Amino acid sequence: MAFALPVWLAVHEELLRHGEADCGTCSCFDEFDDEALFQLFHLSRPCVAFIADAVRGRLKTLPLDEPGLPADAMVMLALNYYAHGVNSAPVLQRVGLSQADGAALVVGTVSGVVAAMSDEFISFPLSPGAKANVASKVEGLCGIPRVLGVLAPAHFKIRASPYEKNSFRSFVNTLGYTSVVSQIVCDSDGNVLSVDRCCVGSTCEQEMWESSSEGKEMEKELLGSYWVVGGKGYHLSTHILTPLSVPDGESEIRFNEAHAKIHSVMRTTLGSLKRRFRCLMQLGFAQEASLNKKSNIIKACCVLHNIAKKFSVPPPPPAGKIEALHPGKQLSAPAEVDPEALQARQKVIDENFSVVSSSQDPAGNVTEESERAEPVCRLLEEASSTHHGQTLD
């Protein structure tokens, strides 16, 4: 991440000072104890306070034509929806809505505000210092030098109308279910470094990369000679480092193991994102013409994920197996591979994987940083009894 903790805390204090003037001590989160708070929002109290402050300030600048709910109540509805995909009875009660209907509009508004905060809380490393910092952590983890992050298409389930056949088909991904897909890049600690607007589920990841600003900048070599690590759904290029499909010999096997190790950070990251923000497990009804709403929810959850990591709040424990990464479209055109790219990858293999080194320990397990933090998440175990709301679309 581009911001050091002291900067964040300074920002926080600044926000607090602004907030105090017109809000006093009126946080509607206060009446939940820590345990209930984590259960309802999958976040800790300091983290919720930080988010509420940040959103409150920004909501004030919007012309709202919505039910006159106080800002904190709006934030509460949205955070609760992200955590569970529905609004919990105690939250609806607290904000005085009898059912979740009115909440959808509020969640949409707050999501727009939080998604816009990605400028501050999600940053692809652009300065030489930031790049070197991200790359050295990746190198420490897996032994591959000059890597700026892990690139993957993140698929999120949606419902689509089967009556609009063409549109429905465009949402069906290679695994056969309807989804929207966003391009995500994360660092070796599982922080989100970039998240693009979502597309229909059938969009192929190579296309998304080529049209994304990160892709364009990297392919133009504006970023210098760095890689992002990508899976088999991407073309090997001088900027996307893919694994060898048929590794030959010890060095290539070691390289593929290192690639798998750093690539698996994305799986852990998406797993923890979907555990904390269960709305991402099923984003509800989607239409091609209004994907912005889904984009905002996905971006908002990524912003909140990064904030939660800054505050070391672990996600709730896994309820089952962590979903595998989406396998992507299998590319079948090895003839087209850029010889320069092959050469660049070979150079990494020769220089860094021809002898075993300590950073290439294939047995070393990747544990996400937040999962080693305090075990607050035990609180969540009896959670599910509180969800009575309706799914928001």
Ligand X SMILES: *[C@@H]1O[C@H](CO)[C@@H](O)[C@H](O)[C@H]1NC(C)=O
For the bound state, the minimum distance from the C-beta of residue 271 to ligand X, rounded and expressed in Å, comes to 15
**CA 16 to CA 341: how far, in whole Å?**
50
Do 150 and 266 contact (CB within 8 A), yes or no? yes
Residue 362 found at the interface with ligand X (CB under 6 A): no
Q: Given the complex with ligand X, which of 249 and 364 has the nearer CB atom?
A: 364
| 162, 241, 253, 337, 348 from 343: Cα distances, Å | 47, 12, 17, 11, 9
Q: Which is nearer to ligand X, 282 or 357 (CB)?
A: 357
The CB-of-319 to ligand X minimum distance in angstroms stands at 18
Q: Which segment (112-120, 270-278, 286-294, 355-363) binds ligand X by CB under 6 A?
A: 355-363
Contact segment (CB under 6 A) with ligand X among 12-20, 65-73, 99-107, 361-369 equals 361-369
Stretch that binds ligand X, among 12-20, 193-201, 264-272, 362-370 (CB under 6 A): 362-370
When asked if residue 363 is in the footprint of ligand X (CB under 6 A), the reply is yes
The answer to the question of residue 318 lying near ligand X (CB under 6 A) is: no
Site for ligand X in 143-202 (CB under 6 A): 143, 145
Subset of residues 108 to 147 that bind ligand X, contact rule: CB under 6 A? 139, 143, 145
Shortest Cβ 195–ligand X spacing (Å): 29
Shortest spacing between CB 351 and ligand X, in angstroms:
4
Residues at the interface with ligand X (CB under 6 A): 139, 143, 145, 351-352, 357, 359, 363-365
